[in-house]
Structure formats: C-alpha cells, structure tokens
Amino acid sequence: MSLETDFRRIINNGIKTFTRNSVVSAASILIMTVTLFVISTVIFLNAILSFSLSQIQDRVDVNVYFYPGTSVERIFAFQDELALLPEIASLEFVSQEDVLIAFRERHAGDFLTLQALDELNTNPLGAVLNIRAFNAGQYEAIDAFIQSQTNLITGPQAIIEKVNFRQNEQVINRLNTLIRTTQSLGFFVSLFFIIISILISFNTIRLAIYNSREEIGIMRLVGAQNRYIRGPFVVEGLLYGVVSTVLTVLILIPVTLWLSKATTTFFGGLDLFAYYINNLFQIFLILLVVGMLLGMISSFIAVRRYLKV
C-alpha cells in the first residue's frame, strides 16, 4: 500500500468518525467556537485600545505657558534652544493676542466670562509654545530639558508659568494600563476556554475510540500499522478546529458589523467591521492555527492515553 493511499484512507476514516459521532462532535465544535470567539474578541479589544492610544498620542503635545508680558525675544531664544533637541518634531508659537482670540471663541456663549475679561482692559493670558515630539515616549526627555532651565521657571527672570506635560502623561499612562489589564484579562479568559475546549474535545475523542473498539480490534488482528489506527482520530480533532474556525469567522461578520457604529463613535473612529474585513486573512489564519492545535492536542492526548497501539 502506497503512502499516498494510506494517507487518503486515514483522512477518509477520520471524516467518517467525525460524521458518525455527530452529536458529541457538535459539543466539541460548540465549545471550540466559543473559545475562538473569545480569542478573536481579545484581538479586537487590543486593536481598539491600541488605535485609541495612537489617536491620543497623535493629539498630545507639550504646551509651555509663558507669563503675560513676556517679551517675544526671550520666548524665541528659548524656542531656538528647544529646536536643537533631536526629539522635537515641530514647534508652534501662539502669541498673546492669538491666545486671547482663541479663548474668546471657546467661551463665545459664556457672557459673564467675556464681560469679566472686557473689564480687565488688558490681556491676562500669556503666549503659548506648542511642542510636538516624533513619538509620545520622547515627551519626558523634552520635559526634563525644560525643567532643567531653572532660571526660566523660578526667580525674578522667570518666563515659564507652567508646562502641561504631566497631565497629558497621566492620560497616556492610564490608557496604557488599561491596555495591559485588558490583555492580561483576555489571556486568562482565553486560557480558561482553551482548557475547557481541550477537555471536551479530549472526551469526545475518547468516546469515539470507545465506539470504534471493535473495528480497532479487527485492525490489530490483521496487522494494521499504528499510524493507520491513530490517524483517523487525529484527523477528527483537526476537523473540530477547521469547522470551529469557519463558524467563528462567519459569526464575526454580523457581530462586527453591528458593533462598528459603537466603536466608530466611542473609540476615536475605528470601524470594527472595516478592521475585520481588512485583516480577515490574518485573523482567519490565527484562529485556524489555534483551532487545529486545540483539536490536535486533544486528539493526541486521548489517543496516547486510551489507544494502546
């Protein structure tokens, strides 16, 4: 018997075993589909939170607020020093007058605030220097440089009123913490379902071995090779993974379509359905590999323990 013929018979017998035990196979497929769905949910959550973090990081900058009345020459001199830092992507100077105009526009409906501002007869707001780095991790170095300019922050010659780096840093750190917590939680939830999936698939294969005990006995008597006896059960486990992957991928289409409006609104514009379609091949491949591994591991353990060949 050729190796190709032997392989085909193993595949065919595995499919027969899979269909013959349809009821118990359905239980394994169901729990494996739930497991793969949980894993895909973790993938989507990570994508949503990472996208939100990147959106926040793109909008975050360091704003240096100067005391009202600070001369433009001193501000420009400080700006020239900052421009030498390798972390600086761009610098934007906003004059006192422009800051006041922007303030009035933001409070256009607040009559009392505007009235109080008019009664001052002077501009109480100082100029602002907006600093953007190439990435969010570089702001700490920029802030450290600014804080090292003690003569500009304290003393009679001080021109810097405040720097808002720490407030922005807190937002980024909180989102990073949320991402790490979600990833850890997703890992443990996925691990729980993986263990349950393996146990159920293991018992399904064990039952299939028991139901096929007479056939296995006959195959032993006629001298069938061990791989020919074991092979169909491994194929059965692999089929659990393949079918579960296909079901999960199909289920995710309406689920992501339904959730896309919410994610677009609440998570900075990420269209979950579009993300799923654009990454369908990668997600399918991940789920297929995980599903087949789950089925193969379950089959291998059951065959090694209950099939003494």
DSSP 122: S
> Are 181 and 52 found together in one domain?
yes
Amino acid (1-letter code) at residue 256 = T
Pairing of strands 88-94, 62-66: unpaired
Predicted confidence (pLDDT) at residue 278 exceeds the cutoff of 90:
yes
| 179 domain-assigned | yes
Per-residue pLDDT, averaged over 280-291, amounts to 91
Count the alpha carbons within 13 Å of 250 in the hemisphere toward its beta carbon. Answer: 7
Among residues 91, 62, 86, the alpha carbon closest in space to that of 75 is found at 91
Per residue in 71-124, pLDDT tens?
899 999 999 999 999 989 889 999 888 988 888 888 887 778 778 777 777 888
Give the pLDDT confidence score for residue 220 in this predicted structure.
62
Domain final residue pick, 91, 125, 158: 158
Q: Is 257 helix (H, G, I), strand (E, B) or coil?
A: helix
Predicted confidence (pLDDT) at residue 281 exceeds the cutoff of 90:
yes
For residue 280, what are the domain limits? 3-56+172-306
> Are 21 and 79 found together in one domain?
no
Percent of the chain past pLDDT 90, that is, above it, reads 15
Give the pLDDT confidence score for residue 285 in this predicted structure.
93
> Are 208 and 274 found together in one domain?
yes
Task: State both tokens at 185.
Answer: 């939680």
> Are 289 and 186 found together in one domain?
yes
| 167 domain-assigned | no
Give the pLDDT confidence score for residue 1 in this predicted structure.
47
> Are 148 and 43 found together in one domain?
no
Give the pLDDT confidence score for residue 283 in this predicted structure.
92
